[in-house]
Homo-oligomer: A and B are copies of this chain.
Amino acid sequence: MAAITGNLVVGQSGGPTAVINQSLVGVVQEALKHGSIQSILGARNGVEGVLREDFIDLRKQSAQTLEDVAATASAGLGSCRFKPKEEDCKKIFEIFTRHNVRYFFYIGGNDSALSAGIINKIAQEQKYDLCVFHCPKTIDNDLLVTDHCPGFGSAAKYVAQAFMGHDLDNRALPGIKIDVVMGRNAGWLTAASALARVNPGDGPHVICLPERSYTVAEFCRKIEDVYTKNKRALVAVSEGLCDKDGNVWLQSDLVRRELKELGMEALINWMDATGRIEDSAGGAKLDAFGHAQLSGSGALADLLASILKIYMFQKTGKKPRLRADTLGYAQRSFAGCVSEVDAREARASGAAAVREAVNGAMSGSICFRRTGSGGYNCETFRAALEDVSGVNFPKGVKQYRPMEDRLITTDKFDVTPEFVEWARPLLGALPVKGILTP
């Protein structure tokens, strides 16, 4: 099929990453090679910009600007957390028709794949020839079909380097240190903390993932064990840490019940007081996709540190050095911590999407699969948009990919060597971790 002639719109959506601009520049650089593509328009703030008809002319950017933007963290076009409704999609097509847009590339995570899926579905229904491609990006690495997602490698590198530092810090001034890592549903990024281990005894010594559930008692006992043995403990905890009903700890009745049994009423009062703040500020915060806000607050880390402080004091009458950090937005946007593999693949995925489209494919999501043996090799392939977006999935089928059982140890407090082997090439080179000979 001959390539359709018309204009191109590219947008970025969802939480930024260190390499989402690499994918954008990959789209633009490839589009510039093809005569069937006329205007190359960047929609500001994703579909919100389409609806506002707020476009940047990407043909006007110099080659140097494009390279600078590619090397810059976060979304150069701006991003959004907007889920288009039926009437929004109608307006989008009106705008696309008026501008003769025939190529739409949406760089984003699973929510963005869903948006692209909805737009594609309506395009088909309206028999409007529109190539709709999703270029995966997410630090969470929880997209379906693909081996891994652009954005994950750099975020994992940041997490590994943060844990290398926190482990060295915890060696120098021993105590219990808890770090809360991003990842609502899937533990890939929390698991990447394991890549910080280089020398014997290195932390993290405990890793808690959202794929498993934890009671307060077993969480405390595990850390107490490690601390008793090593005189220090570095703990990686996913922000999605949940109880056996699947509720995150800060909103868990089971956790409250346990805290009561453990004589930690002060913490229940604190949790209640935390909840009442939201009421004063206009009620609980859910994003446009109905997800609870877990990032952008240190509450979970502070809760965990407080639980352990009280627990250790109850047990020993002593107060070990206890600190907690929430790694925060630096995980997705810290400037200057990019995996070279991730940057290259993100660029390649944008280019691959354009090539697929001009070669006649009407829709898809650009995924990665490993090829060959002996070292790390990966290639892109086009998956059906529906398989990634989950737009047609029956109710109850997950639209994201959790870590597989074989990647988590049976005691649920660590990852397996298989995970480390899988993840290592995605992070690229890590800093040296020298130690003195005793």
- A contact residues vs B (CB 8 Å cutoff): 12, 15-16, 21, 42, 45, 56, 58, 60-62, 65, 67-81, 161-162, 164-166, 168-169, 171-173, 177, 196, 264, 266-267, 269-270, 272-274, 276-277, 279-282, 285, 295-299, 301-302, 305-306, 309-310, 313, 317-319, 322-330, 332-337, 430-438
A176 → B minimal CB distance (Å): 10
Docked pose: A282 CA to B313 CA in angstroms: 7
Q: Is the CB of A324 within 8 A of B337?
A: no
Known contacts A169-B329, A270-B276; 9 further A-B pairs (Cβ under 8 A): A12-B172, A42-B436, A68-B432, A69-B435, A71-B434, A74-B168, A76-B436, A270-B270, A273-B274
Of B12, B325, B335, B434, the residue contacting A161 (CB under 8 A) is: B335
Measured between alpha carbons, how far is A330 from B177 in the docked complex, in Å?
A: 12
Inter-chain contacts of A276 with B (CB < 8 A): 266, 269-270
Residues of B within 8 A of A337 (CB): 161, 336-337
Q: Which of A67, A80, A166 has the most CB of B within 10 A?
A: A166
Report how far A330 CA is from B73 CA in the complex, Å: 19
Nearest-neighbour CB distance to chain B for A200, whole angstroms, equals: 15
* Residues on the B chain within 8 Å of A327, using CB: 328, 330
Q: How long is the Cα–Cα vector from A438 to B68 in the complex, in angstroms? A: 15
Q: What are 7 residue pairs bridging A and B, where the CB atoms are less than 8 Å apart in the complex?
A: A16-B169, A62-B437, A68-B434, A69-B435, A76-B435, A76-B436, A297-B298
Closest 6 A-B residue pairs measured CB to CB?
A: A298-B298, A68-B434, A296-B323, A74-B168, A325-B328, A165-B333
Which of A75, A267, A282, A322 lies at the interface centre, i.e. has the most chain B CB atoms within 10 A of its CB?
A: A282
User: A434 to B329, alpha carbons, bound, how many Å?
Assistant: 19
Instruction: Select which of B75, B269, B326, B434 is within 8 A of A298 by beta carbon.
Output: B326
Q: How many copies does the complex hold?
A: 2
CB of A8 to closest CB in B, whole Å? 15
Q: Are A436 and B61 within 8 A (Cβ)?
A: yes
Q: Which of B16, B169, B431 contacts A172 (CB 8 A)?
A: B16
Q: Which of B76, B273, B277 makes the CB contact (< 8 A) with A310?
A: B277
In the complex, the chain B residue whose C-beta lies closest to that of A64 is: B434
Nearest B residue to A265 via CB reads B280
Report how far A336 CA is from B168 CA in the complex, Å. Answer: 13
Residues of B close to A164: CB separation below 8 A? 73, 335-336
* Chain B: minimal CB distance from A94 (Å): 24
CB pair A436 B270 closer than 8 Å: no
How far, in angstroms, from A230 to B355 measured CA to CA in the complex? 39
A296 touches B322 (CB 8 A): yes
Given known pairs A166-B330, A335-B168, the reply for A274 and B280 (CB within 8 Å) is no
Tell me which residues across on chain B come within 8 A of A432, comparing CB atoms: 68, 71-72
Q: How far is the CA of A322 from the CA of B149 in the complex (A)?
A: 27
Please tell me if the beta carbons of A433 and B310 are within 8 angstroms of each other in the complex.
Answer: no
Determine the chain B residues whose CB is within 8 A of the CB of A323 once the complex forms: 295-297, 329
**Interchain CA distance A149-B323 in the complex, whole Å:** 25
Asked whether A173 lies within 8 Å of B81 as measured between CB atoms, the reply is yes
Residues of B within 8 A of A436 (CB): 42, 56, 58, 61, 65, 69, 76-77
When distances are taken between beta carbons in the complex, the residues of chain B under 8 Å from A277 are 266-267, 270, 306, 309-310
Residues of B within 8 A of A75 (CB): 168, 172
Query: In the complex, which of the residues B77, B279, B296 contacts A324, with contact meaning CB atoms closer than 8 Å?
Result: B296
Q: For A266, list chain B residues within 8 Å (CB).
A: 273, 276-277, 279-280
Q: Which of A301, A328, A433 has the most CB of B within 10 A?
A: A328
Q: Which residue of B67, B68, B328, B335 contacts A326 across the interface (Cβ within 8 Å)?
A: B328
Report whether B319 and A298 are in contact in the complex, using a CB–CB cutoff of 8 Å.
no
Bound Cα distance A58, B438 (Å): 9
State A247–B270 Cα separation when bound (angstroms): 23
Given the interface pairs A65-B436, A69-B434, A433-B72, the reply to whether A280 lies near B310 with Cβ below 8 Å is yes
